[in-house]
Amino acid sequence: MKVLVVGNGGREHAIAWKISQSPLVKELYCAKGNGGTAKIAKNIPIEPIHVEALADFAQREGIDFTIVGPEAPLVAGIVDEFEKRGLKVFGPNKRASLLEGSKAFAKEFMQKHQIPTAEFHIFGDPQKAKNFVKDFGLPVVIKADGLASGKGVFICKSYEEAYQTIDKLMVKKVLGEAASKVVIEEFLEGEEASYIVMVNGDRYVPLPTSQDHKRLLDGDKGPNTGGMGAYSPNPFVDEDTERSIKELIIERVIKGLKEEGINYRGFLYAGLMLTQKGPKVLEFNVRLGDPEAQPLLMRIRGDFCEALLNFYEGKDISLDIDQRHTLCVVLASKGYPEKPEDGKEIKGLEEVEGMEDVVIFHAGTEIREGKVFTKGGRVLNVCAWGENLKEAQEKAYNAIKRIHFEGMHYRKDIGYRALLHFQR
Protein backbone atom coordinates (compact mmCIF):
# COMPACT_ATOMS: atom_id res chain seq x y z
CA MET A 1 0.00 0.00 0.00
CA LYS A 2 0.95 3.66 -0.44
CA VAL A 3 1.00 5.81 2.70
CA LEU A 4 1.28 9.59 3.04
CA VAL A 5 2.44 11.29 6.26
CA VAL A 6 1.50 14.98 6.40
CA GLY A 7 3.93 17.26 8.27
CA ASN A 8 7.60 18.10 8.53
CA GLY A 9 8.58 17.96 12.21
CA GLY A 10 10.09 15.46 14.61
CA ARG A 11 6.69 13.91 15.24
CA GLU A 12 6.24 13.23 11.53
CA HIS A 13 9.71 11.69 11.20
CA ALA A 14 8.82 9.40 14.12
CA ILE A 15 5.49 8.46 12.49
CA ALA A 16 7.23 7.79 9.16
CA TRP A 17 9.96 5.76 10.93
CA LYS A 18 7.35 3.55 12.60
CA ILE A 19 5.15 3.22 9.52
CA SER A 20 8.16 2.36 7.31
CA GLN A 21 8.71 -0.80 9.39
CA SER A 22 5.39 -2.27 8.21
CA PRO A 23 5.58 -4.97 5.50
CA LEU A 24 2.24 -3.60 4.22
CA VAL A 25 3.87 -0.33 3.14
CA LYS A 26 5.39 -0.42 -0.33
CA GLU A 27 5.71 3.34 -0.88
CA LEU A 28 5.93 6.04 1.79
CA TYR A 29 5.59 9.79 1.18
CA CYS A 30 6.01 12.80 3.47
CA ALA A 31 4.62 16.28 2.79
CA LYS A 32 6.75 18.06 3.06
CA GLY A 33 9.06 16.11 5.30
CA ASN A 34 12.57 17.02 6.42
CA GLY A 35 16.18 15.84 6.17
CA GLY A 36 15.41 12.73 8.22
CA THR A 37 12.28 11.62 6.38
CA ALA A 38 14.17 11.98 3.09
CA LYS A 39 16.13 8.84 4.03
CA ILE A 40 13.08 6.60 4.55
CA ALA A 41 10.37 8.20 2.38
CA LYS A 42 9.88 10.39 -0.65
CA ASN A 43 9.50 14.03 0.41
CA ILE A 44 6.78 15.90 -1.47
CA PRO A 45 7.22 19.70 -1.72
CA ILE A 46 3.67 20.57 -0.61
CA GLU A 47 3.13 22.56 2.59
CA PRO A 48 0.99 20.71 5.19
CA ILE A 49 -1.49 23.60 5.25
CA HIS A 50 -2.16 23.36 1.48
CA VAL A 51 -5.10 21.01 1.93
CA GLU A 52 -6.44 20.87 -1.63
CA ALA A 53 -2.98 20.37 -3.17
CA LEU A 54 -2.39 17.45 -0.80
CA ALA A 55 -5.75 15.92 -1.69
CA ASP A 56 -4.92 16.34 -5.41
CA PHE A 57 -1.59 14.57 -4.85
CA ALA A 58 -3.17 11.73 -2.85
CA GLN A 59 -5.79 11.22 -5.54
CA ARG A 60 -3.29 11.37 -8.38
CA GLU A 61 -0.81 8.98 -6.74
CA GLY A 62 -3.43 6.54 -5.48
CA ILE A 63 -2.51 6.98 -1.80
CA ASP A 64 -4.21 4.25 0.25
CA PHE A 65 -3.90 5.83 3.71
CA THR A 66 -2.92 9.27 5.00
CA ILE A 67 -1.82 10.11 8.55
CA VAL A 68 -1.94 13.78 9.53
CA GLY A 69 0.72 14.95 12.00
CA PRO A 70 0.26 18.67 12.82
CA GLU A 71 -2.77 20.60 14.00
CA ALA A 72 -2.91 23.36 11.37
CA PRO A 73 -4.11 21.20 8.44
CA LEU A 74 -6.60 19.43 10.72
CA VAL A 75 -8.10 22.74 11.83
CA ALA A 76 -8.09 23.86 8.17
CA GLY A 77 -10.23 20.84 7.21
CA ILE A 78 -7.82 18.42 5.54
CA VAL A 79 -9.87 15.43 6.72
CA ASP A 80 -13.10 16.87 5.32
CA GLU A 81 -11.41 17.45 1.95
CA PHE A 82 -9.89 13.95 1.79
CA GLU A 83 -13.11 12.23 2.87
CA LYS A 84 -15.10 14.23 0.31
CA ARG A 85 -12.91 12.58 -2.32
CA GLY A 86 -13.19 9.09 -0.83
CA LEU A 87 -9.62 9.07 0.52
CA LYS A 88 -8.77 7.28 3.78
CA VAL A 89 -7.24 9.70 6.28
CA PHE A 90 -6.56 9.38 10.00
CA GLY A 91 -7.39 12.53 11.91
CA PRO A 92 -10.41 14.46 13.21
CA ASN A 93 -12.55 16.59 10.89
CA LYS A 94 -12.69 20.38 10.98
CA ARG A 95 -15.50 20.61 13.50
CA ALA A 96 -13.90 18.11 15.88
CA SER A 97 -10.56 19.91 15.54
CA LEU A 98 -12.03 22.97 17.27
CA LEU A 99 -11.04 21.22 20.51
CA GLU A 100 -7.53 22.42 19.70
CA GLY A 101 -8.27 25.18 17.21
CA SER A 102 -10.14 27.29 19.78
CA LYS A 103 -9.27 27.24 23.47
CA ALA A 104 -12.52 29.12 24.15
CA PHE A 105 -14.51 26.36 22.43
CA ALA A 106 -12.61 23.68 24.36
CA LYS A 107 -13.13 25.36 27.75
CA GLU A 108 -16.85 25.86 27.12
CA PHE A 109 -17.11 22.24 25.92
CA MET A 110 -15.45 21.06 29.15
CA GLN A 111 -17.73 23.21 31.28
CA LYS A 112 -20.82 21.91 29.49
CA HIS A 113 -19.81 18.24 29.80
CA GLN A 114 -18.42 18.43 33.35
CA ILE A 115 -14.82 17.70 32.43
CA PRO A 116 -12.47 18.91 35.20
CA THR A 117 -10.45 21.98 34.20
CA ALA A 118 -9.26 25.29 35.65
CA GLU A 119 -11.73 28.12 36.34
CA PHE A 120 -11.72 30.38 33.28
CA HIS A 121 -13.12 33.48 31.58
CA ILE A 122 -13.02 34.50 27.90
CA PHE A 123 -12.36 38.03 26.63
CA GLY A 124 -12.39 39.78 23.26
CA ASP A 125 -11.65 43.22 24.72
CA PRO A 126 -8.17 43.95 26.18
CA GLN A 127 -9.39 46.47 28.75
CA LYS A 128 -12.03 44.12 30.11
CA ALA A 129 -9.37 41.40 30.30
CA LYS A 130 -7.09 43.70 32.34
CA ASN A 131 -9.93 44.73 34.67
CA PHE A 132 -10.72 41.08 35.28
CA VAL A 133 -7.10 40.17 36.12
CA LYS A 134 -7.07 42.93 38.74
CA ASP A 135 -9.89 41.18 40.61
CA PHE A 136 -8.96 37.58 39.80
CA GLY A 137 -5.62 37.45 41.61
CA LEU A 138 -2.18 35.99 40.87
CA PRO A 139 -0.62 33.96 39.41
CA VAL A 140 -2.83 33.85 36.35
CA VAL A 141 -2.61 31.98 33.04
CA ILE A 142 -3.35 33.85 29.79
CA LYS A 143 -3.90 31.83 26.61
CA ALA A 144 -4.38 32.85 23.00
CA ASP A 145 -7.64 31.36 21.74
CA GLY A 146 -6.28 30.09 18.42
CA LEU A 147 -3.32 28.02 17.21
CA ALA A 148 0.09 29.31 18.29
CA SER A 149 2.44 26.30 17.83
CA GLY A 150 2.64 25.75 21.58
CA LYS A 151 3.73 29.35 22.21
CA GLY A 152 0.38 30.91 23.12
CA VAL A 153 0.34 30.19 26.87
CA PHE A 154 1.68 32.71 29.40
CA ILE A 155 1.96 32.24 33.17
CA CYS A 156 1.95 35.71 34.73
CA LYS A 157 3.13 36.21 38.30
CA SER A 158 2.65 39.99 38.50
CA TYR A 159 -0.11 42.34 37.38
CA GLU A 160 2.35 44.25 35.20
CA GLU A 161 3.36 41.04 33.43
CA ALA A 162 -0.30 40.13 32.89
CA TYR A 163 -1.18 43.58 31.48
CA GLN A 164 1.85 43.49 29.14
CA THR A 165 0.89 40.00 27.96
CA ILE A 166 -2.67 41.13 27.20
CA ASP A 167 -1.33 44.12 25.24
CA LYS A 168 1.18 41.96 23.38
CA LEU A 169 -1.52 39.47 22.37
CA MET A 170 -4.60 41.61 21.82
CA VAL A 171 -3.24 45.07 20.89
CA LYS A 172 0.13 44.42 19.25
CA LYS A 173 -1.17 41.08 17.91
CA VAL A 174 2.20 39.30 18.07
CA LEU A 175 0.35 36.04 17.36
CA GLY A 176 -1.96 37.60 14.77
CA GLU A 177 -5.61 36.61 14.83
CA ALA A 178 -4.84 33.64 17.11
CA ALA A 179 -5.20 36.06 20.03
CA SER A 180 -8.23 38.07 18.91
CA LYS A 181 -9.76 36.40 21.96
CA VAL A 182 -7.94 35.25 25.10
CA VAL A 183 -8.77 32.77 27.80
CA ILE A 184 -7.78 33.80 31.31
CA GLU A 185 -7.73 31.01 33.86
CA GLU A 186 -6.53 30.03 37.30
CA PHE A 187 -3.02 28.69 37.72
CA LEU A 188 -3.00 24.99 38.58
CA GLU A 189 -0.25 23.30 40.55
CA GLY A 190 0.90 19.70 40.40
CA GLU A 191 2.62 17.38 37.94
CA GLU A 192 1.95 17.68 34.22
CA ALA A 193 1.01 14.63 32.18
CA SER A 194 0.25 13.95 28.53
CA TYR A 195 -2.45 11.35 28.00
CA ILE A 196 -3.03 10.39 24.37
CA VAL A 197 -5.63 8.01 22.97
CA MET A 198 -6.75 6.89 19.54
CA VAL A 199 -10.46 7.53 19.07
CA ASN A 200 -12.97 6.19 16.58
CA GLY A 201 -16.51 7.26 17.47
CA ASP A 202 -17.26 5.89 20.94
CA ARG A 203 -14.24 3.55 21.04
CA TYR A 204 -10.75 4.48 22.19
CA VAL A 205 -7.33 2.87 22.70
CA PRO A 206 -4.85 4.52 25.11
CA LEU A 207 -1.21 5.04 24.15
CA PRO A 208 1.54 4.87 26.80
CA THR A 209 1.72 7.74 29.29
CA SER A 210 4.30 10.52 28.93
CA GLN A 211 5.45 13.87 30.30
CA ASP A 212 6.47 16.85 28.16
CA HIS A 213 8.86 19.66 29.15
CA LYS A 214 7.43 22.90 27.72
CA ARG A 215 9.78 25.51 29.15
CA LEU A 216 12.93 26.54 27.26
CA LEU A 217 15.40 26.38 30.16
CA ASP A 218 16.48 23.90 32.82
CA GLY A 219 14.34 23.72 35.95
CA ASP A 220 11.21 24.60 33.93
CA LYS A 221 12.26 28.23 33.55
CA GLY A 222 11.99 30.57 30.57
CA PRO A 223 9.23 30.91 27.98
CA ASN A 224 6.91 28.15 26.81
CA THR A 225 7.98 26.38 23.63
CA GLY A 226 6.53 23.66 21.45
CA GLY A 227 8.32 21.21 23.78
CA MET A 228 11.98 20.68 24.71
CA GLY A 229 11.82 16.97 25.53
CA ALA A 230 9.63 14.16 26.82
CA TYR A 231 9.78 10.70 28.32
CA SER A 232 7.58 7.62 28.68
CA PRO A 233 6.13 6.10 30.80
CA ASN A 234 5.10 8.87 33.18
CA PRO A 235 5.50 7.42 36.70
CA PHE A 236 3.18 10.07 38.16
CA VAL A 237 0.26 8.39 36.34
CA ASP A 238 -0.38 5.34 38.51
CA GLU A 239 -3.29 2.92 37.99
CA ASP A 240 -5.76 4.93 40.09
CA THR A 241 -4.82 8.19 38.36
CA GLU A 242 -5.16 6.60 34.93
CA ARG A 243 -8.59 5.26 35.86
CA SER A 244 -9.66 8.78 36.87
CA ILE A 245 -8.31 10.22 33.61
CA LYS A 246 -10.29 7.71 31.59
CA GLU A 247 -13.55 8.10 33.53
CA LEU A 248 -13.57 11.85 34.23
CA ILE A 249 -11.92 13.11 31.05
CA ILE A 250 -11.56 10.78 28.06
CA GLU A 251 -14.95 9.06 28.36
CA ARG A 252 -16.75 12.33 29.10
CA VAL A 253 -15.12 13.94 26.03
CA ILE A 254 -16.21 11.06 23.81
CA LYS A 255 -19.75 11.14 25.25
CA GLY A 256 -19.87 14.95 24.87
CA LEU A 257 -18.74 14.80 21.25
CA LYS A 258 -21.42 12.22 20.48
CA GLU A 259 -24.12 14.36 22.17
CA GLU A 260 -23.09 17.31 19.99
CA GLY A 261 -23.16 15.22 16.82
CA ILE A 262 -19.41 15.41 16.30
CA ASN A 263 -17.83 12.28 14.83
CA TYR A 264 -14.25 12.06 16.13
CA ARG A 265 -11.69 9.77 14.51
CA GLY A 266 -8.01 10.34 15.18
CA PHE A 267 -5.59 10.98 18.02
CA LEU A 268 -6.87 12.89 21.06
CA TYR A 269 -4.31 14.41 23.41
CA ALA A 270 -5.25 15.59 26.89
CA GLY A 271 -2.64 17.87 28.42
CA LEU A 272 -3.23 17.44 32.15
CA MET A 273 -2.26 18.81 35.52
CA LEU A 274 -2.34 16.18 38.24
CA THR A 275 -3.57 18.32 41.14
CA GLN A 276 -4.34 17.38 44.74
CA LYS A 277 -8.01 17.37 43.71
CA GLY A 278 -7.38 14.98 40.82
CA PRO A 279 -6.48 15.37 37.13
CA LYS A 280 -7.58 18.56 35.39
CA VAL A 281 -7.33 19.43 31.70
CA LEU A 282 -4.92 22.19 30.70
CA GLU A 283 -5.63 21.80 26.99
CA PHE A 284 -6.75 19.39 24.30
CA ASN A 285 -4.81 18.66 21.15
CA VAL A 286 -6.29 16.78 18.22
CA ARG A 287 -3.09 14.99 17.20
CA LEU A 288 -0.05 13.28 18.63
CA GLY A 289 2.09 15.50 20.83
CA ASP A 290 5.48 16.69 19.68
CA PRO A 291 7.88 15.64 21.24
CA GLU A 292 5.72 13.05 23.08
CA ALA A 293 5.10 11.08 19.86
CA GLN A 294 8.79 10.23 19.58
CA PRO A 295 9.20 8.28 22.86
CA LEU A 296 5.66 6.87 22.57
CA LEU A 297 6.12 5.40 19.10
CA MET A 298 9.46 3.92 20.20
CA ARG A 299 7.56 1.88 22.81
CA ILE A 300 4.93 0.45 20.43
CA ARG A 301 5.98 -2.95 19.17
CA GLY A 302 4.79 -4.68 16.03
CA ASP A 303 3.09 -3.33 12.93
CA PHE A 304 1.66 0.05 13.94
CA CYS A 305 0.48 0.82 10.41
CA GLU A 306 -1.66 -2.33 10.37
CA ALA A 307 -3.02 -1.54 13.85
CA LEU A 308 -3.87 2.03 12.84
CA LEU A 309 -5.58 0.92 9.63
CA ASN A 310 -7.59 -1.75 11.46
CA PHE A 311 -8.65 0.77 14.11
CA TYR A 312 -9.63 3.25 11.39
CA GLU A 313 -11.84 0.56 9.83
CA GLY A 314 -13.61 -0.12 13.15
CA LYS A 315 -11.86 -3.35 14.15
CA ASP A 316 -10.75 -4.09 17.70
CA ILE A 317 -7.02 -3.76 18.26
CA SER A 318 -4.55 -4.07 21.10
CA LEU A 319 -1.09 -2.53 21.19
CA ASP A 320 1.99 -4.42 22.34
CA ILE A 321 3.96 -1.99 24.52
CA ASP A 322 7.70 -2.26 25.19
CA GLN A 323 8.21 -2.12 28.96
CA ARG A 324 11.48 -0.22 28.63
CA HIS A 325 11.61 3.53 29.26
CA THR A 326 12.21 6.04 26.48
CA LEU A 327 13.42 9.63 26.64
CA CYS A 328 13.66 12.37 24.02
CA VAL A 329 15.79 15.55 24.14
CA VAL A 330 15.14 18.37 21.66
CA LEU A 331 18.13 20.17 20.17
CA ALA A 332 17.05 23.68 19.20
CA SER A 333 18.51 26.58 17.24
CA LYS A 334 19.86 29.71 18.81
CA GLY A 335 17.01 32.21 19.21
CA TYR A 336 14.25 29.60 19.57
CA PRO A 337 11.31 30.08 20.18
CA GLU A 338 11.24 33.77 19.10
CA LYS A 339 13.72 34.08 16.21
CA PRO A 340 15.55 30.82 15.48
CA GLU A 341 18.65 30.94 13.29
CA ASP A 342 18.82 28.74 10.17
CA GLY A 343 21.45 27.35 7.87
CA LYS A 344 23.96 25.92 10.37
CA GLU A 345 25.71 22.70 9.38
CA ILE A 346 25.07 19.77 11.72
CA LYS A 347 28.02 17.47 12.47
CA GLY A 348 28.34 14.15 14.29
CA LEU A 349 25.09 12.50 13.13
CA GLU A 350 26.83 9.52 11.49
CA GLU A 351 28.60 8.68 14.74
CA VAL A 352 25.36 8.73 16.74
CA GLU A 353 23.40 6.71 14.19
CA GLY A 354 25.56 3.69 14.98
CA MET A 355 24.93 3.84 18.73
CA GLU A 356 22.91 1.10 20.39
CA ASP A 357 19.45 2.00 21.79
CA VAL A 358 19.60 5.52 20.31
CA VAL A 359 17.52 6.97 17.48
CA ILE A 360 17.52 10.51 16.06
CA PHE A 361 14.37 12.06 14.65
CA HIS A 362 14.87 15.13 12.49
CA ALA A 363 12.61 18.16 12.88
CA GLY A 364 14.00 21.42 11.42
CA THR A 365 16.59 20.04 9.00
CA GLU A 366 17.32 19.97 5.30
CA ILE A 367 19.93 18.19 3.19
CA ARG A 368 22.06 20.19 0.77
CA GLU A 369 24.82 18.54 -1.27
CA GLY A 370 24.91 15.58 1.08
CA LYS A 371 25.26 17.70 4.22
CA VAL A 372 22.60 18.31 6.90
CA PHE A 373 21.72 21.89 7.86
CA THR A 374 19.38 23.46 10.42
CA LYS A 375 16.06 24.81 9.14
CA GLY A 376 13.75 25.78 11.97
CA GLY A 377 13.55 26.22 15.73
CA ARG A 378 13.50 22.64 16.94
CA VAL A 379 16.17 20.87 14.91
CA LEU A 380 16.71 17.31 16.17
CA ASN A 381 15.20 14.89 18.67
CA VAL A 382 17.78 12.63 20.29
CA CYS A 383 15.97 9.64 21.80
CA ALA A 384 17.00 6.52 23.69
CA TRP A 385 15.65 3.33 25.25
CA GLY A 386 16.69 2.26 28.76
CA GLU A 387 15.72 -0.36 31.32
CA ASN A 388 14.79 2.58 33.53
CA LEU A 389 14.41 6.34 33.10
CA LYS A 390 17.91 7.11 34.36
CA GLU A 391 19.49 4.76 31.84
CA ALA A 392 17.46 6.20 28.97
CA GLN A 393 18.47 9.71 30.07
CA GLU A 394 22.17 8.80 30.23
CA LYS A 395 22.12 7.21 26.77
CA ALA A 396 20.39 10.22 25.19
CA TYR A 397 22.76 12.77 26.72
CA ASN A 398 25.79 10.63 25.89
CA ALA A 399 24.68 10.70 22.24
CA ILE A 400 24.18 14.48 22.31
CA LYS A 401 27.86 14.97 23.21
CA ARG A 402 28.73 13.80 19.69
CA ILE A 403 26.44 16.26 17.86
CA HIS A 404 27.26 19.88 17.13
CA PHE A 405 25.91 22.87 15.24
CA GLU A 406 26.51 26.54 15.86
CA GLY A 407 24.17 27.94 18.54
CA MET A 408 22.85 24.49 19.55
CA HIS A 409 20.64 24.75 22.65
CA TYR A 410 19.06 21.98 24.70
CA ARG A 411 17.85 21.32 28.20
CA LYS A 412 20.22 19.29 30.38
CA ASP A 413 17.49 17.98 32.70
CA ILE A 414 14.81 16.16 30.71
CA GLY A 415 13.18 13.67 33.08
CA TYR A 416 14.48 15.41 36.20
CA ARG A 417 11.10 15.81 37.93
CA ALA A 418 10.40 12.07 37.91
CA LEU A 419 13.95 11.17 38.94
CA LEU A 420 13.89 13.67 41.83
CA HIS A 421 10.46 12.56 42.99
CA PHE A 422 11.25 8.87 43.07
CA GLN A 423 14.63 9.32 44.73
CA ARG A 424 12.95 10.82 47.82
pLDDT at 376 > cutoff 70: yes
Tens-digit pLDDT profile for residues 151-165: 899 999 999 999 999
CB neighbours of 157 closer than 8 A, spacing ≥ 6? Answer: 138, 139
- CATH of 2-94 among 3.40.190.10, 1.10.3720.10, 3.40.50.620, 3.40.50.20: 3.40.50.20
What pLDDT shows up at residue 56? 98
What pLDDT shows up at residue 424? 52
- At 357, is the pLDDT very low, low, confident or very high (cuts 50, 70, 90)? very high
Angle at CA 151, nearest 5°, toward 256 and 180?
Answer: 70
What pLDDT shows up at residue 234? 96
Mean pLDDT for all residues in the chain: 96
> 191-321 in CATH: which number?
3.30.470.20
Q: How many CB atoms lie within 10 A of CB 62?
A: 10
Q: Domain limits of the chain?
A: 2-94, 125-180, 191-321, 325-423
The DSSP output letter for 333 is: -
pLDDT at 354 > cutoff 90: no
CB neighbours of 11 closer than 8 A, spacing ≥ 6? Answer: 69, 70, 287, 288, 289, 290, 291, 293, 294
Whether residue 209 contacts residue 274, with contact meaning beta carbons closer than 8 Å, is answered with: no
pLDDT at 296 > cutoff 80: yes
Q: Which CATH class is domain 325-423?
A: alpha beta
Q: What is the mean pLDDT of residues 359-372?
A: 96
Element of type H or E holding 215? strand 215-217
Euclidean distance between CA atoms 387 and 47, whole angstroms: 39
pLDDT at 291 > cutoff 90: yes
pLDDT at 422 > cutoff 80: no
Q: Which residue has the higher pLDDT, 420 or 168?
A: 168
What pLDDT shows up at residue 402? 97
pLDDT at 18 > cutoff 70: yes
pLDDT at 35 > cutoff 90: yes
The DSSP output letter for 250 is: I
Give the CATH superfamily of 125-180: ATP-grasp fold, A domain (3.30.1490.20)
Q: What is the mean pLDDT of residues 355-368?
A: 97
pLDDT at 23 > cutoff 70: yes
- At 149, is the pLDDT very low, low, confident or very high (cuts 50, 70, 90)? confident
CB half-sphere exposure, 174, CA atoms < 13 A: 13
pLDDT at 423 > cutoff 80: no
Question: How much of the chain is helix, strand and coil, in % rounded to 5?
Answer: 35, 30, 35
Euclidean distance between CA atoms 301 and 278, whole angstroms: 31
2: preceding bond cis by omega (within 30 degrees): no
